[in-house]
């Protein structure tokens, strides 16, 4: 699945989880940029993404992520 399709599928997950329908996903977006993106919501995000894409991430993979762009690359690699 190409990156634009991953972003398209991720967007509603972010909108719902962070209760922000105006949130625009981009490669540089990170937790500091999103209100409510704390450690608990990070875990929720990872779980929802795993379910939506049918993939599994290791704790090490998740801990290395710095932004949405790296998350998209990781999803791409798992598909």
Q: Helices 3-17 and 39-53, interaxial angle, to 10°?
A: 130
From 1.10.1200.10, 1.10.10.10, 3.40.50.2300, 1.10.3720.10, which CATH number describes the 3-78 domain?
A: 1.10.1200.10
Q: What is the pTM of this model?
A: 0.93
Which long-range CB contacts under 8 A does 42-45 form with residues at least 24 apart? 44/17, 45/13, 45/14, 45/17
pLDDT of residue 77: 96
CA distance 49 to 18: 14
Tens digit of pLDDT per residue, the chain (79 long)? 999 999 999 999 999 999 999 999 999 999 999 999 999 999 999 999 999 999 999 999 999 999 999 999 999 999 9
* Structure-block tokens of residue 12: 């509603």
Helix (H, G, I), strand (E, B) or coil at 53: helix
């Amino acid at each position: 699945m190409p990156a634009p399709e991953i972003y398209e599928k991720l967007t509603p997950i972010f909108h719902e989880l962070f209760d922000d329908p105006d949130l625009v996903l981009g490669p540089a977006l990170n937790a500091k940029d999103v209100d409510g993106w704390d450690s608990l919501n990070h875990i929720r995000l990872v779980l929802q993404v795993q379910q939506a894409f049918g993939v599994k991430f290791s704790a090490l993979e998740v801990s290395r992520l710095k932004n949405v762009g790296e998350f998209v690359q990781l999803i791409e690699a798992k598909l």
